[in-house]
Amino acid sequence: MPVLHFDITHTTVYRYKEPVSFGLHRVMFRPRESHDLRVLATDLQVSPEASIRMIQDPNSNSVALVQPLGSATELRFVCTFRIEHVPSAPDALLEIDPTAEYIPFAYSLQDRYDLERYLRPHHDDPEGVLIRWAQQFLQGDQESKRTRDVLTRMNAHIGRTLKYEVRNEEGTQSPLETLERGSGTCRDYALLMMEAARRLGIAARFVSGYLYDSALDPSKTAEGKQTPVSGAGATHAWMQAYLPGAGWIAFDPTNNIMGSGQLVRVAVARDPAFASPLSGSWYGEADAYLGMEASVEVRRIDLAPPSASAAVKPG
Residue 39, Cβ neighbours under 10 Å: how many?
A: 15
Domain presence at residue 311 = no
d(CA 267, CA 247): 17
d(CA 67, CA 26): 9
* 180 shares its domain with 144: yes
Residue 63 lies in domain = 4-85+276-303
* 256 shares its domain with 212: yes
d(CA 304, CA 310): 12
Domain presence at residue 69 = yes
* 153 shares its domain with 261: yes
d(CA 238, CA 118): 15
* 20 shares its domain with 75: yes
Query: How many distinct structural domains can be found in the chain?
Result: 2
Domain presence at residue 285 = yes
Domain presence at residue 312 = no
* 68 shares its domain with 122: no
Domain presence at residue 189 = yes
Q: What is the pLDDT of residue 151?
A: 95
d(CA 200, CA 134): 7
d(CA 224, CA 222): 5
Q: Reduced to 3 states, what is the DSSP secondary structure of residue 7?
A: strand
* 156 shares its domain with 270: yes
pLDDT in tens, the chain (315 residues): 678 899 999 999 999 999 999 999 999 999 999 988 999 999 999 999 999 999 999 999 999 999 999 999 999 999 999 999 988 766 666 689 999 999 999 999 999 999 999 999 999 999 999 999 999 999 877 778 999 999 999 999 999 999 998 877 778 899 999 999 999 999 999 999 999 999 999 999 999 999 988 776 666 555 455 555 665 567 899 999 999 999 999 999 999 988 867 899 999 999 999 999 999 999 999 999 999 999 999 999 987 654 444 444 444
Domain presence at residue 308 = no
d(CA 211, CA 206): 15
> Residue 64, exposed/middle/buried by CB under 10 A (0-12, 13-18, 19+)?
buried
* 49 shares its domain with 139: no
Cα 185 off chain centre by: 12
Q: Reduced to 3 states, what is the DSSP secondary structure of residue 262?
A: coil
Q: What is the pLDDT of residue 167?
A: 76
Q: For the chain, where are the alpha helices, taking DSSP H only? A: 109-119, 129-135, 147-161, 175-181, 186-199
DSSP line for 174-207: -HHHHHHHTEE-HHHHHHHHHHHHHHTT--EEEE
* 16 shares its domain with 105: no
Q: What is the pLDDT of residue 229?
A: 66
- Polymer length of the chain: 315
pTM: 0.88
* 35 shares its domain with 177: no
* 64 shares its domain with 164: no
Phi, psi (deg, nearest 5) at residue 34: -165, -165
Domain presence at residue 138 = yes
d(CA 182, CA 191): 14
Q: What is the pLDDT of residue 231?
A: 54
Q: What is the CATH number of the domain that holds 72?
A: 2.60.40.2250
Q: What is the CATH number of the domain that holds 171?
A: 3.10.620.30
* 57 shares its domain with 123: no
Q: Reduced to 3 states, what is the DSSP secondary structure of residue 69?
A: coil
d(CA 306, CA 135): 52
The residues, any chain, with a CB within 8 Å of residue 196's CB and separated by 6 or more, are 130, 133, 134, 154, 175
* 129 shares its domain with 19: no
